[in-house]
Structure 1
Amino acid sequence: MIEFVASSRLFNLHTHHTTYQFLIDPNGFLLHTYYGRRCGGDSFGYLLRQADRGFSPNPREAGRDRTFSLDTQPQEFPAVGVGDFRTPVLEVENADGSCAADLRYVSHTISSGKYALEGLPAFYGEEGEAETLEVLLRDPWTGLEATLYYGVFPQLDLITRAVRFQNGGSQPIALTRAMSACLDLGRMDLDLITFDGYHTGERHPCRQAVRPGLQQISSIRGITSHQHNNFVVLCQKDAGETHGLCYGMALVYSGNFEANVERSQFGDVRLTMGISPWHFRFQLAPGEVFTAPEVAMTCSGSGLQTMSQNFHRAIRHNLCRGWWKTRRRPVLLNTWEAAYFDFDQQKLLEIASSAAETGVELLVMDDGWFGERNDDYEGLGDWFVNLKKLPGGLAPLVEQINAMGMDFGIWIEPEMVSEKSRLYQEHPDWALQIPGRPSTRGRSQLVLDFSREEVWRSVYAQIKKVLESANITYVKWDMNRSLTDVWSGALPAQRQGELYHRYVLGVYAMLEQMITDFPKILIEGCSGGGGRFDCGMLYYTPQIWASDNTDAMDRLLIQYGTSFCYPTSTVGSHVSASPNEQTGRRTSLQTRAVVAMSGTFGYELDPRKLSEGERSQMRAQIDEFKRFYHLLQDGDYARLTNPFRDQEFTAWQHTAPDRSEALVSVVAGMARSNAPFRTVYPRGLDPDMIYQVDGWGCFRGDTLMYGGIPLPQGGGDYQSWQFHLKKV
């Protein structure tokens, strides 16, 4: 619920459990007053205190009053050059060369439903689900306008923010920093949690104290990156899974980003998030518009688990969309680790036949089916079937696989081009390259200039013909390198700073076109695994390959960190061969499946090489996944242990929203001689409800939560168990 109190010029944004509040001061500045547990609506403006602070300047309107300075006030949308020396969200270059922006309140509107952003992904909500607040600010000296958008989802405890800039003046203005949100929290002793890592080791939580000065994570790779995710948490020092005040903020965007946490000289904490200002310069002629991407925020007064569950529900139901939003995802087998580039139609049919016997529902033909693609040095950009490998094209192959009872999917990498390809020979200028400089290769490939509509439309036209040629129900959209040599022949020199953002808009435009033309195709996002795992991509691809590392024990770490923002239903996770290709580690087929079930679930191996006993296990695992799908994909997720700290075992839980059923999953670490007894403690059960636990007994919910479930002893390294709790 959005409330405006005219007498005090106060905005209250209420969700079921939280209140977000700011006000318009007498000079038209927006000052932030509160974000936390839900309150009745009284103004927190009494906390806005003023004092004469040395070297903190005062606006002209203050006259001889030296006590008011933007440098010391909590602001809703701070700009540069007018007295606040903390990290701003807006920087500009005005026509006269100055860099000041002085944004003042003009007007506001409140409406039912959720705003949408043209060309950009965003959470959505119908009338009754969400409300929108628009606040118009204007710089009276240049005419630059900023419309602040707030989307309020009361039942989800979610607030979204975005900004639309328009040059309302008569001279050109360039935006050099145009971030989406600022959260000024006052003097608080907080920890910052970021989710960092590397290729094959993404989204590992890093928790550190907020210290004086600036702490920053960012990406300038053109994608979200394996190194840092564009989701961060601020929380009280003692906050844990079930207690403490926590703030989560996620950027709904898939390109360069920056998140800053700054503790000022007076102990105030500011969090800003948005597009990275690195090599960003967006020029606005009079009347032109720029829209910054959306940020989603939630606040929990009861710990990290509630914060995560808020995001999970919102992403599942108000960000993911389309045919596959709530449908059960098919159990798939991807051919990459089974065949790599070395396959033909006969080999694919043999793999498919073996997979079909185990209950696999979808066969995915990975890299190597197109152009002259026999290795990763050639073929990208030539999206037509390699008739040497598949003599009849896709249609007869797909028909035979469909006859086995399976659907069929393909791998694509539309944003890339090989120098050894027809596309590059015909259009070398379509690749990102700086004139007069040698190109930088990544994975032996170049990046296509998707900021140019003719480029992505040409690539899409090829892929569309392929998708129309056979009964294809799944596409894996990959992207296997960072952006370098970022220069476009379609932009003049003074607008090259727009290229990174325009590239992302081109990717979104092609994805939207594909969804429009093929609404029932399931698209899985990928960027060398988890390099572009973000809310922006989830608007188009309801699941994303979480990491190229399929080792079950490493995946415990990756999926643990991922769970802080992203729901299980979005996490691409497969059972691969043992020993694992990335680590050489050996784990049981059961353990690999238990880990993969906390994702979309599938296989990344050659089923022909499995024993009959292992194939029988596969059939049972697929049946179990289907049996527990409603819990695994739609249940409330809880982290019962921390695998970075708790070495004996890792445990997590999926619980039905009505608490009538739960699935507790456990994976043990390395075996120890004479090991102590181990117990796992479920969470979130109904204390008065009686639960049947896998046929070995009936217990009250409080007994199970406080007494725990004893784990079996022995059995070797990396044992695993699943405990199904169901109301009697």
Structure 2
Amino acid sequence: MTQSWRLDDARQTIVLGAQEGRLAEVVYWGPRLSDDENLTTLVRAGKIDVTGGMLDENPDLSICPEATRSFPGQPGMVIHDTTGAPILPRFQFAKADEAEGSLVLHYTDVANGLRYIAHFALDPQTHMNVTKAVLEADAAVHLHWLAAPVLPGPQLSDEIIDFSGRWCGEFQMNRTAWSAGIRSRENRTGRTGHEHFPGLLVPCRGAGNTHGHVYGFHYGWSGGHKMIAEELPDGRRQIQFGHASQIEHATHKRFETSPLYAVFSDSGINGCAVSFQRHLRDKIVSWPDPARPRPVHYNSWEAVYFDHDLTVLQDLATRASDLGAERFVLDDGWFGNRDNDEQSLADWVVDPRKYPQGLNPLIAHVNDLGMSFGIWFEPEMINPDSEIYRAHPDWATGADDQILGRQQKVLDMANPEVRDYLFERISDVLQNHAIDYIKWDHNRVLPLPDAAQTRGSYALLDKVRMAFPKVEIESCASGGGRIDFGILSRTHRVWLSDSNDALERLQMQHNAAIFLPMVVIGSHVGPRQCHTSGRTLDLHFRAWVAAQRHMGFEMDPRELSKEETRVLTEVTTWWKHNRAWMERADILRLDSPDPAVVAEQQQAQDDSQFVVFAGKARTSPQISPRPLQLTRLQPDAMYRINLINRIAAPNLSRGNPLLKTKEMDVTGGYLMNHGLTLPWSFPETMWVIEGTRL
């Protein structure tokens, strides 16, 4: 008996097949197939031959590979009974629920009292295949590993690209050649992690940013994940994603993976990026007011740190408003006896020493300036030097002698009493003040990974969102330590990195946009001398890097010269003028012929206009700039091109390329095949080019 199913959109086809009622396997995933394709033929045609030294038949590379089928690689499920004895499932088909764009496959293992359910949903607008797996058991079991439905890796691929990082250095791309065996990456920090963003790209041979076949994956879970990219001895390849192994500490009768978001692109990495960006923005993030433009932020942290003074903060708010800020965010230091990072976390009461009349005088001043008000919390953490810890030391997780992180421990978010206390304190602040924004921080890893901790944090966020549906929330975790589609289903913005160094941000933002749209990536103009790198950068560069994403300021505006004030005001005004279309634009990576240049093209969804940001990170190896080829334009259409910051050309730019002196009208074919010839520039500068289809 041969079974088969297919899912289609305008770009791709996914075919699943099975023999003799066994678990299905993905037998085809790629460009759209004809509606007349015989699926039974595809299931049989994909079977590989056998030869000496092999089994008489190749075990299925199914959506949950089973050890009982002699599968030679990583199984899709590892479970034990309450005595610790392994359970080896052997599933058989029960039923299939089919609907337009979705498929749910049900399987049973009667002998072991197990049920396995695989969900597939292909979104026709974003081309995103959203999958998840569910395990149900008659008796409680220990779960060591459960993969989301397993997908095949393409054969015409030489490498995989995954993402690593560190504090102030997130979203670094790693390229690893395929070879026999496993590329296994596991994040056991208990949060998404700077170190291992749960994403993967698998390019086929010859693919780049703008062309070729690429497969993209993202696991939408905030508690640490495991990824496996394995090449079997017979040459087949599998991709597995799931929660980090052995983080379910209790036995249960039901387990569920988080969604695995998987996409096929026939237009290079950009095709994956556009799908991820649109799916997150349009299908996952739940905006309190979708019509509200993203407001320009001012964050107080790098201006005052813990030294809160009402008069100073009011002055900063006035200056920020004059620069164009629309939201004032009061960062750490407003509560308890919080004079440094060693005390008062979890004491969420306004500090009467710093605010003898409470926060309302500051909020009233901010509102009078036309800005809304946001505030910082770190709800999941506690300092041993705090009133709450002294009253409830049992609320902290981990051993008494554990290594602290930023002088703090982690609250037990699986404990309903802890969540109730935090909700009460957060609610009191929100109910009694005009606050429309929370910066929700998470400044240390867990002492031990625990899925229940993540579910508890989700539950608190969900409760806050339900009680205060107009309040937006930013996910911050020492910067980019908790960025994923799971947390973003409960929040609205991410703090990509604690680094406000524009040079570091240039590459980080570029890579993060493979998964994240402009509207969720906070990017601030930092101080003249960056507090995390010590580097001093020109304000033109700092401002334009911030203008690539959700713009804000995070510095002391009193340090600005008159010229810097003018520049920052002009760039902010430009951003506010263009944000209406940029908020829904696709961020496209450009293949720069100069390795010193990091370039992207933000393209309006109706293709009527675009802006190119070409940032020069270091000295070029050649004298003159190489032409920068654009992408996704209409070859026969005419475009008006304008270098909007040509006045920033340095004295050493002595020639007169056309863009340096005036606008030009050229075809999309010229822009894509020859490219833009830009003026010469120093390192740590940015050219900004606007394009309008005529």
TM-score, normalised relative to structure 1:
0.88
- How far the C-alpha of 1:398 sits from its partner, in A, is 0.6
C-alpha separation between the residues in 2 aligned to 1:563 and 1:674? Answer: 28
Which whole-Å deviations, capped at 9, do the CAs of 1:120-155 have from their partners, x for residues lacking one? xxxxxxxxxxx4321111112111111111112122
Find out whether 1:213 has 2:213 as its counterpart: no
**What amino acid is aligned across from residue 445 of structure 2 in structure 1?**
S
Counterparts of residues 482-631 of structure 1 (less than 5 Å): 482-484=445-447, 486=448, 500-631=450-581
**What amino acid is aligned across from residue 223 of structure 1 in structure 2?**
R
Give the % identical residues. 28
- How far the C-alpha of 1:671 sits from its partner, in A, is 5.1
* Contact 1:656–1:662 (Cα < 8 Å) also in 2: yes
**What amino acid is aligned across from residue 565 of structure 1 in structure 2?**
F
Counterparts of residues 339-418 of structure 1 (less than 5 Å): 339-418=304-383
- How far the C-alpha of 1:390 sits from its partner, in A, is 1.1
* Match in the other structure for 2:146: 178
Find out whether 1:242 has 2:238 as its counterpart: no
- How far the C-alpha of 1:399 sits from its partner, in A, is 1.1
Find out whether 1:442 has 2:400 as its counterpart: no
- The structure-2 alpha-carbon separation of the partners of 1:174 and 1:391, relative to structure 1 and needing over 3 Å to count, comes to same
- How far the C-alpha of 1:49 sits from its partner, in A, is 2.7
* Match in the other structure for 2:656: none
C-alpha separation between the residues in 1 aligned to 2:626 and 2:303? Answer: 38
C-alpha separation between the residues in 1 aligned to 2:135 and 2:505? Answer: 41
- How far the C-alpha of 1:468 sits from its partner, in A, is 1.1
**What amino acid is aligned across from residue 38 of structure 2 in structure 1?**
D
Find out whether 1:718 has 2:684 as its counterpart: yes
* Match in the other structure for 1:289: 254
**What amino acid is aligned across from residue 668 of structure 2 in structure 1?**
G
Counterparts of residues 239-318 of structure 1 (less than 5 Å): 239-284=207-252, 288-318=253-283
Supply the RMSD in Å over aligned alpha carbons. Answer: 2.0
- How far the C-alpha of 1:326 sits from its partner, in A, is 5.4
C-alpha separation between the residues in 2 aligned to 1:663 and 1:279? Answer: 45
Larger mean CA deviation between 23-32 and 515-524 belongs to: 23-32
* Match in the other structure for 1:165: 135
C-alpha separation between the residues in 2 aligned to 1:155 and 1:8? Answer: 31
Find out whether 1:109 has 2:116 as its counterpart: no
- How far the C-alpha of 1:672 sits from its partner, in A, is 6.8
Larger mean CA deviation between 539-548 and 583-592 belongs to: 583-592
Q: Give the 3-state SS of the residue equivalent to 1:224 in structure 2.
A: coil
Find out whether 1:144 has 2:114 as its counterpart: yes
Find out whether 1:639 has 2:639 as its counterpart: no
* Match in the other structure for 2:655: none
Q: Give the 3-state SS of the residue equivalent to 1:9 in structure 2.
A: strand
Which whole-Å deviations, capped at 9, do the CAs of 1:49-107 have from their partners, x for residues lacking one? 36566776xxxxxxxxx63342xx22122134442131122111135723311122111
- How far the C-alpha of 1:24 sits from its partner, in A, is 2.7
Q: Give ranges in structure 1 of 5+ residues lacking alignment.
A: 1-6, 57-65, 113-130, 487-498
* Contact 1:79–1:91 (Cα < 8 Å) also in 2: no
C-alpha separation between the residues in 1 aligned to 2:46 and 2:598? Answer: 45
C-alpha separation between the residues in 2 aligned to 1:474 and 1:662? Answer: 30
* Contact 2:347–2:387 (Cα < 8 Å) also in 1: yes
C-alpha separation between the residues in 2 aligned to 1:500 and 1:533? Answer: 18
Which whole-Å deviations, capped at 9, do the CAs of 1:513-541 have from their partners, x for residues lacking one? 11111111121111000111111111111
Larger mean CA deviation between 171-180 and 394-403 belongs to: 171-180
**What amino acid is aligned across from residue 20 of structure 1 in structure 2?**
I
* Contact 1:188–1:268 (Cα < 8 Å) also in 2: no
Corresponding residue to 1:222 among 190, 199, 202? 190
* Contact 2:143–2:246 (Cα < 8 Å) also in 1: no
* Contact 2:440–2:474 (Cα < 8 Å) also in 1: yes
Find out whether 1:656 has 2:604 as its counterpart: yes
Q: Give the 3-state SS of the residue equivalent to 2:426 in structure 1.
A: helix
- The structure-2 alpha-carbon separation of the partners of 1:219 and 1:628, relative to structure 1 and needing over 3 Å to count, comes to same
- How far the C-alpha of 1:230 sits from its partner, in A, is 0.2
* Contact 1:668–1:720 (Cα < 8 Å) also in 2: yes
C-alpha separation between the residues in 1 aligned to 2:24 and 2:678? Answer: 55
* Contact 1:86–1:264 (Cα < 8 Å) also in 2: yes
- How far the C-alpha of 1:566 sits from its partner, in A, is 1.5
- How far the C-alpha of 1:704 sits from its partner, in A, is 2.5
C-alpha separation between the residues in 2 aligned to 1:210 and 1:672? Answer: 32
Q: Give the 3-state SS of the residue equivalent to 1:709 in structure 2.
A: coil
Counterparts of residues 41-60 of structure 1 (less than 5 Å): 41-43=37-39, 44-49=42-47
Q: Give the 3-state SS of the residue equivalent to 2:427 in structure 1.
A: helix
* Contact 1:667–1:718 (Cα < 8 Å) also in 2: yes
Larger mean CA deviation between 569-578 and 409-418 belongs to: 569-578
* Contact 1:80–1:91 (Cα < 8 Å) also in 2: no
Q: Give the 3-state SS of the residue equivalent to 2:87 in structure 1.
A: coil
C-alpha separation between the residues in 2 aligned to 1:683 and 1:674? Answer: 24
Larger mean CA deviation between 579-588 and 382-391 belongs to: 579-588
* Contact 2:64–2:147 (Cα < 8 Å) also in 1: no
Which whole-Å deviations, capped at 9, do the CAs of 1:320-379 have from their partners, x for residues lacking one? 113255532110111111000012111110111111112211111100001110000001
- The structure-2 alpha-carbon separation of the partners of 1:301 and 1:704, relative to structure 1 and needing over 3 Å to count, comes to closer
Q: Give the 3-state SS of the residue equivalent to 1:202 in structure 2.
A: coil
C-alpha separation between the residues in 1 aligned to 2:244 and 2:515? Answer: 21
Which whole-Å deviations, capped at 9, do the CAs of 1:572-629 have from their partners, x for residues lacking one? 1111012212222222211112111222110110112212222222221111111221
Which whole-Å deviations, capped at 9, do the CAs of 1:228-247 have from their partners, x for residues lacking one? 11011112132111222211
C-alpha separation between the residues in 2 aligned to 1:100 and 1:323? Answer: 46
C-alpha separation between the residues in 2 aligned to 1:543 and 1:186? Answer: 33
C-alpha separation between the residues in 1 aligned to 2:172 and 2:153? Answer: 26
Larger mean CA deviation between 671-680 and 195-204 belongs to: 671-680
* Contact 1:692–1:698 (Cα < 8 Å) also in 2: yes
* Contact 2:63–2:76 (Cα < 8 Å) also in 1: no
* Match in the other structure for 2:62: 75
TM-score, normalised relative to structure 2:
0.93
Corresponding residue to 1:28 among 22, 39, 60? 22
Larger mean CA deviation between 606-615 and 210-219 belongs to: 606-615
Q: Give the 3-state SS of the residue equivalent to 1:20 in structure 2.
A: strand
C-alpha separation between the residues in 1 aligned to 2:433 and 2:188? Answer: 39
**What amino acid is aligned across from residue 106 of structure 1 in structure 2?**
A
C-alpha separation between the residues in 2 aligned to 1:590 and 1:221? Answer: 38
- The structure-2 alpha-carbon separation of the partners of 1:79 and 1:423, relative to structure 1 and needing over 3 Å to count, comes to farther
Q: Give the 3-state SS of the residue equivalent to 1:657 in structure 2.
A: coil
* Match in the other structure for 1:125: none
* Match in the other structure for 1:128: none
C-alpha separation between the residues in 2 aligned to 1:38 and 1:107? Answer: 26
C-alpha separation between the residues in 2 aligned to 1:610 and 1:50? Answer: 67
- The structure-2 alpha-carbon separation of the partners of 1:251 and 1:335, relative to structure 1 and needing over 3 Å to count, comes to same
Corresponding residue to 1:466 among 429, 443, 463? 429
Find out whether 1:696 has 2:679 as its counterpart: no
* Contact 2:106–2:115 (Cα < 8 Å) also in 1: yes
* Match in the other structure for 1:4: none
* Contact 2:247–2:451 (Cα < 8 Å) also in 1: no
* Match in the other structure for 1:493: none
How many residues align? The count is: 670
* Contact 1:93–1:174 (Cα < 8 Å) also in 2: yes
- How far the C-alpha of 1:42 sits from its partner, in A, is 2.6
Q: Give the 3-state SS of the residue equivalent to 1:711 in structure 2.
A: coil
C-alpha separation between the residues in 2 aligned to 1:447 and 1:373? Answer: 17
* Contact 2:346–2:383 (Cα < 8 Å) also in 1: yes
Q: Give the 3-state SS of the residue equivalent to 2:170 in structure 1.
A: strand
* Match in the other structure for 1:118: none
Q: Give ranges in structure 2 of 5+ residues lacking alignment.
A: 643-661
- How far the C-alpha of 1:674 sits from its partner, in A, is 8.8
